[in-house]
Structure 1
Amino acid sequence: MFIHPLSVLSVLASGVLDCLAAMPLEPRWHDVRTKHAWGAVPEHWETLGHPAAGTTIDLHIALEPQRKNAVLDALYEVSYPRSPKYVFLHHFSVYPFTDLRLCPVGGRRRYGAHLSREQLADIVAPHLDTLTLVNSWLKHHGVHRSSVSQSHGGGWLTVADVPISQANNMLSASYQLYRHAKTNETAIRTISYGLPVELHSHVKSVAPTTYFNSPGMLRHAPRSRRWAGTMAAPAKAASIDLGRVLSRDGVGPVTPSFLRWLYNTLGYVPAATDRNKLGVTGLIGDSPSPVDLKRFMTEYRADGAETATFDVVLINGGGYDPNTPSVEGNLDIQYAEAMAFPTPLTYYSTGGGSGPDPYLSWLNFMLSLDDNELPRTISTSYGGHEEAIPLDFAESACELFAQLGVRGVSVLFSTGDFGVGKDCTDRSGNVRFRTMFPASCPWVTSVGGTMDYPEVGASMSGGGFSNYFSRPAYQDGAVPTYLEHLGGQYDGLYNANGRGIPDISAQAYRCAFVHRKEVYAIDGTSCSVPIAAGIVSLLNDYRLSKGKTPLGFLNYWLYDYGIADLGLNDITSGSNPGCNTDGFTASTGWDPVTGLGTLDFAELQKMLDEL
Structure 2
Amino acid sequence: MLALFPLALVAVATAHALSPFVQHGKRNALPPGWSRARRHAPDAVLPLRFGLTQPNVDMNILQSLLNDVSHPDSPNYGNHWSPARVAQHFAPSNETIQAVVSWIVKSGVPRDRVRVSKTKGWVQVLNATVAEAETLLKAEYHVFEHESDGQHVACDAYHLPAHVVPHVEIVTPTIDFNPLRKRGATHINLGQPDNSSVRPVIAGKVSTILNELENCDKQITPACLRALYGFVYTPHAPSKNSYGIVEYTPGARLLSPAYRAADLDLFAKNFSTSLTGNLVGKRPVLQSIDGGVLQHIEEIPDYNGESDLDLEYAMNLVTSHQPVTLYQVGDLTVGASFNNFLDALDGSFCKYKGGDDPSLDPPYPDPYRGGYKHHDCGTVEPAYVISTSYSYDEAALSPAYAARQCAEYAKLGMMGVTMLFASGDDGVAGNNGFCLNPDGTRTAKGRIFTPAFPVSCPFVVAVGATQIKPGATVTDPEIACETGIASGGGFSNYFTVPDYQNDVVTGYVKSHLTTPPLYPGLYSIGTRAYPDLSANGCAFSCLLLENEFILVAGTSASTPVVGAMLAMINDARLAIHKKPIGFINPAIYSPLFQGAFNDVTSGNNPGCGKQGFPAAKGWDPVTGLGTPNFPKLLALWLAAK
- The residue type equivalent to 1:290 in the other structure is A
Find the residue that maps to 2:166 and give its secondary structure: coil
Matched position secondary structure for 1:272: coil
Q: Does 2:625 correspond to 1:596? A: yes
Corresponding residue SS for 2:244 = strand
Aligned match for 2:533, one of 484, 504, 517: 504
1:229-308 paired onto structure 2 within 5 Å: 229-231=207-209, 234=211, 240-242=212-214, 244-247=215-218, 253-266=219-232, 268-283=233-248, 284=250, 285-301=256-272, 303-308=277-282
User: Could you report, residue by residue, the CA deviation over 1:556-602 in whole angstroms, capped at 9, with x for unpaired residues?
Assistant: 0011147622x211111111112222211111100111000111222
Partner of 1:382: 390
Work out whether 1:441 is the aligned partner of 2:457: yes
State how far apart, in whole Å, the 1-side matches of 2:118 and 2:332 are.
Answer: 21
Counterparts of 1:177 and 1:376 in 2: how far apart (Å)?
A: 43
Counterpart of 1:409 in structure 2 is 417
Q: Which residue type is aligned with residue 229 of structure 2? A: Y
Q: Over aligned residue pairs, what C-alpha RMSD do you find?
A: 3.3
Of 49, 54, 61, 1:64 maps to: 54
SS of alignment partner, residue 466 of structure 1: strand
- SS of the aligned residue for 1:449 comes to strand
8 Å contact from structure 2 (residues 243, 386) kept in 1:
yes
* Count of residues in Structure 1 that have an aligned counterpart in Structure 2: 557
**Does the 8 A contact of 1:433 with 1:493 survive in 2?**
yes
1:399 corresponds, among 395, 401, 407, to: 407
- Residue 202 in structure 1 maps to residue 167 in structure 2: yes
Q: Is the 8 A contact 1:224 1:521 kept in 2?
A: yes
1:212 aligned counterpart, secondary structure = coil
Q: Distance in 1 between matches of 2:630 and 2:10?
A: 58
- Deviation, 1:34, is 2.4
User: Which residue number corresponds to residue 496 of structure 2?
Assistant: 470
Q: Does 1:133 align with 2:104?
A: no
**2:341 maps to which residue?**
362
User: CA offsets per residue over residues 468-490 of structure 1, 9 Å max, x none?
Assistant: 11111111232222222213222
Query: How far apart in 1 are the matches of 2:628 and 2:326?
Result: 24
Distance in 2 (alpha carbons) for counterparts of 1:66 and 1:576: 36
Q: Secondary structure at the match of 1:476?
A: helix
The residue number in structure 2 matching 1:587 is 616
Which has the larger helix fraction?
Answer: 1
- Determine if the alignment matches structure 1 residue 428 to structure 2 residue 439: yes
Offset at residue 29 of structure 1 (A): 9.1
TM-score by length of 2: 0.79
Shift of 1:118: 1.1
Give the aligned partner of residue 312 of structure 2: 334
Instruction: Give yes or no for the alignment of 1:315 onto 2:279.
Output: no
Q: How does 1:18-167 map to 2 (within 5 A)?
A: 18-23=7-12, 25=14, 28=17, 31-47=20-36, 57=47, 59=49, 61-65=51-55, 70-83=61-74, 109-137=75-103, 139=105, 141-142=109-110, 144=112, 148-150=116-118, 154=120, 156-157=121-122, 159=124, 163=128, 165=130, 167=133
Q: Does 2:205 align with 1:227? A: yes
Residue 326 of structure 1 aligns to a residue whose secondary structure is: helix
The reply on whether 1:549 has 2:579 as its aligned counterpart is: yes
Counterparts of 1:115 and 1:21, CA distance in 2: 34
Q: Distance in 2 between matches of 1:261 and 1:122?
A: 46
In terms of mean alpha carbon deviation, does 302-311 or 400-409 score higher?
Answer: 302-311
SS at match of 1:399: helix
Measured in 2, the distance between the counterparts of 1:39 and 1:189 equals 13
Instruction: Name structure 2 gaps, 5 residues minimum.
Output: 182-188, 190-194, 251-255, 348-376, 441-445
- Name the aligned partner's letter for residue 262 of structure 1: L
Alignment CA distance shift 1:213-1:339 (3 Å): farther
d(CA) in 1 for partners of 2:113, 2:323 = 41
Which amino acid is 1:331 matched to?
L
Contact 1:226 1:519 in 2 (8 A): no
* AA partner of residue 213 (structure 2): D
Cα offset, 1:379, TM superposition = 0.8
2:497–2:527 CA contact under 8 A, matched in 1: yes
Cα deviations by residue, 1:25-51 (Å, 9 ceiling, x for unpaired):
598498543221123422222456678
Contact 1:449 1:528 in 2 (8 A): yes
Q: Identity rate of aligned residues, in percent?
A: 30
Amino acid at match of 2:480: G
**Distance 1:40-1:428 versus aligned 2 partners, 3 A rule:** closer
Whether contact under 8 Å (1:218, 1:382) holds in the other structure is yes
Local SS of the residue matching 1:506:
strand
Per the TM alignment, residue 533 of structure 1 is displaced from its structure 2 partner at its CA by 1.1
The more displaced of 553-562 and 426-435 is 426-435
**Which stretch shows the higher mean deviation, 446-455 or 405-414?**
446-455
Partner of 1:246: helix, strand, or coil?
Answer: coil
Name structure 1 gaps, 5 residues minimum.
Answer: 1-5, 84-108, 235-239, 248-252
How far did residue 364 of structure 1 move? 2.0
SS of equivalent residue, structure 2 residue 344: helix
Contact 1:70 1:123 in 2 (8 A): no
Using the TM superposition, give the Cα deviation of residue 396 of structure 1 relative to its aligned residue in structure 2, in angstroms.
1.4
| TM-score, reference length from structure 1 | 0.82
The residue aligned with 2:559 is 529
CA contact (8 A) 1:74 1:406 kept: yes
Range with greater deviation from structure 2 (357-366 or 59-68): 59-68
- What does the per-residue CA deviation read over 1:326-345, in whole Å, with 9 as the maximum and x for residues that have no partner? 32222222222222233222
Deviations 1:409-428 (A, max 9, x none): 00011111111113434242
Structure 1 residues 67 and 575: alpha-carbon distance in aligned structure 2, compared to 1, 3 A threshold: closer
Q: CA–CA distance in 2 between the matches of 1:384 and 1:297? A: 32
* Contact 1:117/1:370, CA 8 A, preserved across alignment: no
CA distance in 2, matches of 1:289, 1:29: 62
Cα 1:199/1:186, change in 2 over 3 Å: same
Instruction: Look up the SS of the partner of 1:198 in the other structure.
Output: coil
Counterparts of 1:533 and 1:273 in 2: how far apart (Å)? 15
Alpha carbons of structure 1 residues 118 and 424: separation in structure 2 relative to 1, 3 Å: same
CA contact (8 A) 1:563 1:596 kept: no
